[in-house]
Amino acid sequence: MNAPIAPARLRVGIVSAGRVGTAVGESLAAAGHDVASLVARSPESRSRAAARLPDARIVDTATLTADSSLILIAVPDTELPGVVDQIAAAAPTPGTIVAHTAGAHGAAILEPLARLGAITVALHPAMTFVGSTDDTARLASSCFGITSRDEIGDAIAAALVLEMGATPVRIAEDDRTLYHAALAHGANNLIALIGDAVAALDAAIAGPHGEHRDTATVDGPDPGVAERILGPLVRASLDNVLAMGPSALTGPVARDDTATVARHLAALARLPDPHLVDGYRALAARAAARSGAGPQMHELLHEQSPEVTA
């Protein structure tokens, strides 16, 4: 990637002061930009803005548009077209930079603003946000998926990301949905996976009637023991797969141990949540495909057992 041209100090307006907008706003302010105005409608957003971007004024969209040389739209995907229309109605000054943080969209959704002379870019941080200052710290080690209409927008997008300490990665307009699907699969679905694993482990620790819950550890009751068991294992597995790829796979599927996997399915099918076994079956089938498991393993994982369909 060619070295981008660093933008001048910008007067930034952010719509809105949610988790993403606040974190990116803090990062831009730390880079020397003037985060001057915010749209923050909910009490939670206003409180977050007061604590973390105290110098920014709370204004309406029209005022923010008139006051900003960089407009950052940090709203959910479903709200993005409406906000674009509001900004277009306020007639931004030609040359205004307008960026959005939505993962599934590129720059095309900002076309009404491009027709008015705005420089339009997509700046999606590949990071999860919880609403604390930790979000801002994590941005410095993250990547941003950037998409723009032209080389000028590309240079500006890359420079903004680099100023925040993050890494810009170009994503073509037509590939934004695939890019976003990959991130959702790897991050959002991971949360569902770990939630299922915690539920199953909690049940194993407690026993069939919960009789072992108070004696699971030598220190007595521990409601977080399942997370404590899984934490080091999951972190090591994540590090391994990122470093080694599919060869990091271990366990009964990788060993083509059909008998053990069959017992897993039977045990999971007895839990109150009938869908937990479905998740195991689906992901184990993907692991089997990647590990070259034999036909018996594939047959086991693709059949619907009576316990699941009942």
* Whether residue 219 sits in one domain with residue 136: no
* Whether residue 77 sits in one domain with residue 50: yes
* Whether residue 220 sits in one domain with residue 201: yes
Structural domain harbouring 238:
179-309
* Whether residue 113 sits in one domain with residue 53: yes
Element (H, E) at 268: helix 258-269
From 171, 198, 224, the end of a domain falls on: 171
* Whether residue 211 sits in one domain with residue 157: no
Element (H, E) at 137: helix 134-139
Element (H, E) at 263: helix 258-269
Asked whether residue 213 is domain-assigned, the answer is yes
How far is residue 201's CA from residue 196's CA, in Å, rounded to a whole number? 9
Instruction: Name residues whose C-beta falls within 8 Å of residue 262's C-beta, 6 or more positions apart in sequence.
Output: 300
User: Number of C-alpha atoms within 13 angstroms, CB side, residue 23?
Assistant: 26
Asked whether residue 111 is domain-assigned, the answer is yes
Tens-digit pLDDT profile for the chain (310 aa)? 555 555 569 999 999 999 999 999 999 999 999 999 999 999 999 999 999 999 999 999 999 999 999 999 999 999 999 999 999 999 999 999 999 999 999 999 999 999 999 999 999 999 999 999 999 999 998 999 999 999 999 999 999 999 999 999 999 999 999 999 999 999 999 999 999 999 999 999 988 766 655 555 544 456 789 999 999 999 999 999 999 999 999 999 999 999 999 999 999 999 999 999 999 999 999 999 999 999 999 999 998 654 433 3
* Whether residue 167 sits in one domain with residue 19: yes
* Whether residue 131 sits in one domain with residue 217: no
Q: Which amino acid is at 235?
A: R
Asked whether residue 164 is domain-assigned, the answer is yes
Asked whether residue 1 is domain-assigned, the answer is no
* Whether residue 291 sits in one domain with residue 275: yes
* CATH of residue 120: 3.40.50.720
Q: ∠18-24-27 over CA atoms, to 5°?
A: 140
Enter the tokens of residue 213: 């819950």
CA distances for 126 relative to 1, 36, 71, 143, 195, angstroms: 19, 25, 20, 6, 21
* Whether residue 279 sits in one domain with residue 195: yes
Asked whether residue 133 is domain-assigned, the answer is yes
- Residue located via tokens 């977080």: 224
Asked whether residue 108 is domain-assigned, the answer is yes
Q: Which amino acid is at 291?
A: S
Summarised one tens digit per residue, pLDDT across range 228-246 is 999 999 999 999 999 999 9
What is the number of domains present in the chain?
2
* Whether residue 210 sits in one domain with residue 298: yes
From 154, 171, 188, the end of a domain falls on: 171
Instruction: Name residues whose C-beta falls within 8 Å of residue 90's C-beta, 6 or more positions apart in sequence.
Output: 61, 62, 65, 66
Cα-Cα end-to-end distance for the chain: 56
From 121, 136, 171, the end of a domain falls on: 171
- Please tell me the pTM assigned to this model: 0.87
**DSSP track, 138-194:** HHTT-EEEEEESSHHHHHHHHHHHHHTT-EEEE--GGGHHHHHHHHIIIIIHHHHHH
Asked whether residue 3 is domain-assigned, the answer is no
- At residue 74, the 3 state secondary structure works out as coil
Asked whether residue 267 is domain-assigned, the answer is yes
* Whether residue 254 sits in one domain with residue 209: yes
* Whether residue 245 sits in one domain with residue 167: no
CA distances for 257 relative to 235, 262, 308, angstroms: 24, 9, 21
Strand order in the sheet with 34-39: 57-58, 34-39, 11-15, 70-73, 97-100, 119-125, 143-148, 167-170
